[in-house]
Chains A and B, each alone.
Chain A
Amino acid sequence: MVTTSNGSKGGNQRGRSKAKGTHATREAPADVSARAGLPPLRIILADSEAIFRVGMSRIFAQWEDLEVVAQTETLPQTLQAVATTAADVILFEVGLAPSPADAVSDIAARALPGANLVVVTQRAGEQETVDYLRRGVRGILARAVSPELLVRCVRKVAAGETWLDKQGVNWVIEAYRAQALQGTAPQQQLRLSDKEMMIIGGVTQGMKNKEIACEVGTTEQVVKNYLRKIYDKLHVADRLELALYSMHHRLLDGYSFPPFDNSPEETGPILEEAANPSALVPGPRAVPEETDSEKHDKRELA
């Protein structure tokens, strides 16, 4: 269930505690005294286990600068809550989703402006840590965290800082260093075959996989496989990043293309289609002939 501070099941533990007099609220410590006079930090608790939600709520209820505004126990509830409830911090327990990384992206995409996502997990390895951060997570918190650190994490993340343990910081720095090297020195090590170059050319010219397959003389599936290989080689995530990479590094300069049939498939002013928002959202009407691979490329539309 989704419970909010305004709902009958009341997520405002702080208010309830005060009313019952079971907890005395504590003033924020000196390092957050700058928030004096500001409204409390709003927290959404998304955790699959009620005992953890209750426990964390009680911890936050002790502080007058923290307020739980919603609690959820499933992913759909969480997606709904983050889209409708303004929050400063979202505490998302990864056990709540079969694919936590995808869930993180969904939450990041749907959350209202100003929210900062913190992943709560038993343990995050190197790959997960870097992946979460890339998908917009502001902090990673161990499930066994102490109450003091939990509160500190929320305040820091709400203040715009990132919350990671030392090992996590090192992993992220290494990942960004590697990414920077890839971004600045693209052609020193990679070798792209003629067919790969043709496919990149097709992508930068706005062709769909099926069209590229026709031009190259192969099947759509083979083009998909090539694209995956190209993405891996260039460390790009999708068609747009591939096109930008290609433009920035002038990958196609001097490359002689076969005579692609590059006649426009659509005409009209640039924003003619954009004038109709439904044409830009996912669905059969937007791009009826697109393939699974292209749908994946448009991950933002999914």
Chain B
Amino acid sequence: MFATRQSDLRNSIRFPLHLRVTLKTAAGEYRAETTDISAGGISFAIDNPIEVGSHVEFAIEMPSEVSGGRHVVSVMCVGRVVRCREEVSGQTIAVVIDGYHFKRL
């Protein structure tokens, strides 16, 4: 639901953080950098489109220098693609976060 619109509601505060994300889909694995992120979802740009509505697993990397620790922390997430828009820079993808947990690497 709301798949195409929920992210527009900006339920959570969006932070313009550029964090590395590794995304796993049925079509393959992608690496990207977030253009913005909230507790509700992320957006990023990649070359290939991803089907809207598809379920994805992804890891958001939180670098140690900003998380305040000595180790990289990853947030392991499951979610759904809610938007895939073709733009000059490639495909802008928006994914909602349905579940997550922290993982220290």
Which residues of A come within 8 Å of B, CB atoms? 82, 107-117, 133-136, 138, 160, 176, 179, 182-183, 201, 203-207, 236-241, 243-248, 250, 252, 255, 257, 260, 262-267, 270-271, 273-275, 277, 280-282, 286-287, 298, 300-301
Number of A-B contacts (CB under 8 A): 174
Task: Assess the B1–A274 pair: CB atoms within 8 A.
Answer: no
**Who on chain A is nearest to B73 by CB?**
A206
Verify B9–A271 contact, CB threshold 8 A.
no
Q: How far is the CA of A264 from the CA of B105 in the complex (A)?
A: 5
The secondary structure that dominates the A interface is: loop
Instruction: Chain B residues near A245: list those with CB within 8 A.
Output: 13, 15
| Shortest CB distance B92–A (Å) | 18
With contacts A271-B59, A300-B98 taken as known, whether A108 is within 8 angstroms of B76 at the C-beta atoms is no
> Do residues B103 and A240 form an inter-chain contact, with CB atoms below 8 A?
no
The interface residues of chain B lying within 8 Å CB-to-CB of A206 are 67, 69, 73-74, 102-104
Q: Which residues in B have some Cβ–Cβ distance to A below 8 Å?
A: 1-6, 9-13, 15-17, 22, 24, 29, 37-39, 52-53, 57-59, 61-62, 66-71, 73-78, 80, 82, 97-105
Q: Are B62 and A301 in contact (CB under 8 A)?
A: no
Decide yes or no: A138 and B76 within 8 Å by CB, A113-B53, A204-B62 being known contacts: no
Interface contact B39-A108, CB-CB below 8 Å: no
Question: Which of A116, A257, A267, A273 sits near B76, CB closer than 8 Å?
Answer: A273
Tell me how far the C-beta of A81 lies from the nearest C-beta in chain B, rounded to whole angstroms.
Answer: 12
Q: Decide: A136 and B102 in contact? CB cutoff 8 A.
A: no
Chain B, Cβ-Cβ closest to A286: B101
User: Given A108, A203, A239, A298, which contacts B99 in the complex, CB threshold below 8 Å?
Assistant: A298
Q: Is the CB of A114 within 8 A of B102?
A: no
In the complex, the answer to whether B15 meets A244 with C-beta atoms within 8 Å is yes
Q: Which of A115, A243, A246, A271 contacts B57 (CB 8 A)?
A: A271
